[in-house]
Amino acid sequence: MTEQDLNDVIAGFRDALRDYVKGDPEPVMSFFSDRDDVTLANPLEPPRRGPAEVGEAARRAASNFQVGGPLHFEEVSSSFQEISRFATSELGYVLQIEQHEGRVAGHNDTVVTVLRATLVFRYEDGVWKIAYRHADPITSTRPPTTILRT
- 75-121 residue pLDDT tens: 889 999 999 999 999 999 999 999 999 988 888 888 899 999 999 99
Q: What's the one-letter identity of residue 72?
A: H
| 3-state secondary structure at position 107 | coil
Share of the chain above pLDDT 90, in %: 80
Model pTM above 0.75: yes
Can you list the alpha helix ranges (DSSP code H) found in the chain?
3-20, 26-29, 51-63
d(CA 22, CA 113): 13
Q: Is the pLDDT of residue 74 over 90?
A: no
Domain that holds residue 33: 3-147
Instruction: Output the average pLDDT for the chain.
Output: 93
Q: Report in angstroms the alpha-carbon separations of 11 from 48, 65, 109, 125.
A: 24, 21, 29, 20
Q: What is the domain count for the chain?
A: 1
Do 89 and 81 touch, CB atoms closer than 8 A?
Answer: no
Question: Can you give the CATH number for the domain in which 93 is found?
Answer: 3.10.450.50
3-state DSSP assignment of residue 96: strand
How far, in Å, CA of 81 to CA of 67, rounded?
28
Q: Which residues contact 22 (CB under 8 A, 6 or more apart)?
A: 65, 73, 76
Please give the pLDDT value at position 109. Answer: 85
123 pLDDT higher than 90: yes
R_g of the chain computed on alpha carbons: 16
Which residues make beta-bridge pairs with 86?
Answer: 93
What is the secondary structure of 45-66 as a DSSP string? S--EESHHHHHHHHHHHHHTTS
Q: Please report, rounded to a whole number, the percentage of residues in the chain having pLDDT higher than 70.
A: 97
Give the pLDDT band of residue 59 (cuts 50, 70, 90).
very high
Residue 11 confidence (pLDDT)? 96
